[in-house]
């Protein structure tokens, strides 16, 4: 039997994706996805729509989110899968962590104005599907529209990242809290795209060690954000730390994402797929 085509990481208009949960479900089904999770940044407002759309498209579904965390001065993303989307502790945690985004966005716009890019806040807002979730991605789309950059990847090379105009350092949730919100509500916590963080080996070891100690159980091995060498490297990390492996495209938009829903290599066969830990949570 071929391995299950699971895609457990993507974004809708409820965070910084450009498609609705319904359009994502249809696209996932058309691409051969069998098990799907919508993982909007710091948001679970799309979960009931996504689960219903999954059912209509014949997809199995796991609830999902991608929580922004500050660890050792860096932003780390923790994916939560298979939690109870109606758990009040999850809602309270995510509502609190979303709260800082508005003020951060105004500061980002001020910095951009200082380098001659005016109206970025209002411009970014045009791309925002959820007023509680204004993100750098929305600014990036506006900077492309305004002709400052050709594509969003260029925006993140020239602006909005550390040391560049428009970057505002921000304190997100703690690793401990994010893992707790997920596990308390019955889900499994997964370290997202580990190759994307600029950690020293010591800091990375601390991340995996503390994540495990807090009850984290998975790591993304195959993701749209990893090269095949990076996937091999984090397959080894999964073995070393006894973590289950996840697989997800991190799809945001047909115009921006190079990895489409479900179009990913399989997980290495010896690793435990994270969905095996969540068999009773699949809908």
Query: Which letter, b or e, does each residue of 157-170 get, where b requires 16 or more Cβ atoms within 10 Å of its Cβ?
Result: eebbeeeebbebee
Check: CB of residue 183 under 8 Å from CB of residue 89.
no
Instruction: Give the residue, chosen from 5, 18, 65, 68, that forms a contact with ligand AMP under the rule CB under 6 A.
Output: 68
Residue 13 or 278 having the CB closest to ligand AMP: 13
Supply 150's token pair: 């050709």
Check: CB of residue 204 under 8 Å from CB of residue 197.
yes
What is residue 150's three-state secondary structure?
Answer: coil
The pattern of x and - marking residues 106 through 135 that bind ligand AMP according to CB under 6 A reads -----------------------------x
Residue 259 binds ligand AMP (CB under 6 A): no
Residue 104 or 113 having the CB closest to Mn ion: 104
Residue 7 binds Mn ion (CB under 5 A): no
Rg (CA), the chain: 18
Cα 122 → chain centroid: 25
Query: Please, what is the minimum distance in Å from the beta carbon of residue 179 to Mn ion?
Result: 16
Residue 122 or 162 having the CB closest to ligand AMP: 162
Instruction: Give the residue, chosen from 18, 137, 217, 225, that forms a contact with ligand AMP under the rule CB under 6 A.
Output: 137
The pattern of x and - marking residues 244 through 273 that bind Mn ion according to CB under 5 A reads ------x-----------------------
Instruction: Give the residue, chosen from 52, 60, 107, 156, that forms a contact with ligand AMP under the rule CB under 6 A.
Output: 156
The pattern of x and - marking residues 5 through 24 that bind ligand AMP according to CB under 6 A reads -----------x--------
Check: CB of residue 112 under 8 Å from CB of residue 159.
yes
Supply 217's token pair: 């159980």
Instruction: Give the residue, chosen from 5, 24, 40, 41, that forms a contact with ligand AMP under the rule CB under 6 A.
Output: 41
Question: Residues in the chain, how many?
Answer: 283
**Beta strand 60-61 pairing with 218-223:** unpaired
Q: How far apart are CA 229 and CA 99, in angstroms?
A: 37
Interface residues with ligand AMP (CB under 6 A) are: 16, 41, 68, 135-137, 152-153, 156, 252
């Amino acid at each position: 039997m071929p391995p299950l085509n699971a895609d457990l990481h993507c974004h809708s208009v409820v965070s910084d994706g450009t498609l609705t949960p319904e359009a994502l479900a249809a696209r996932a089904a058309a691409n051969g996805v069998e098990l799907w999770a919508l993982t909007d940044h710091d948001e679970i407002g799309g979960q009931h729509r996504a689960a219903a759309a999954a059912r209509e498209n014949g997809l199995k579904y796991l609830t999902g989110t991608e929580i922004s965390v500050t660890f050792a001065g860096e932003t780390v993303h923790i994916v939560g899968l298979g939690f109870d989307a109606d758990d009040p502790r999850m809602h309270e945690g995510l509502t609190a962590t979303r709260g800082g985004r508005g003020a951060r966005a105004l500061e980002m716009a001020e910095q951009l104005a200082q380098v001659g890019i005016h109206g970025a806040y209002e411009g970014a807002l045009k791309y925002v599907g959820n007023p509680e979730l204004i993100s750098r991605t929305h600014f990036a789309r506006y900077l492309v529209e305004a002709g400052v950059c050709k594509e969003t990847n260029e925006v993140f090379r020239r602006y909005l990242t550390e040391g560049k105009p428009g970057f505002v350092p921000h304190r997100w949730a703690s690793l401990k809290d994010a893992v707790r919100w997920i596990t308390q509500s019955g889900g499994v916590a997964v370290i997202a795209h580990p190759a994307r963080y600029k950690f020293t080996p010591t800091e990375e070891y601390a991340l995996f060690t503390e994540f495990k100690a807090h009850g984290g159980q998975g790591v993304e091995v195959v993701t749209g954000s990893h090269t095949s060498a990076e996937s091999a490297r984090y397959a080894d990390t999964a073995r070393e730390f006894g973590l289950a492996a996840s697989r997800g495209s991190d799809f945001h938009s047909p115009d921006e994402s190079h990895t489409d829903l479900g179009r990913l290599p399989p997980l290495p066969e010896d690793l435990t797929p994270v969905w095996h830990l969540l068999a009773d949570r699949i809908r």
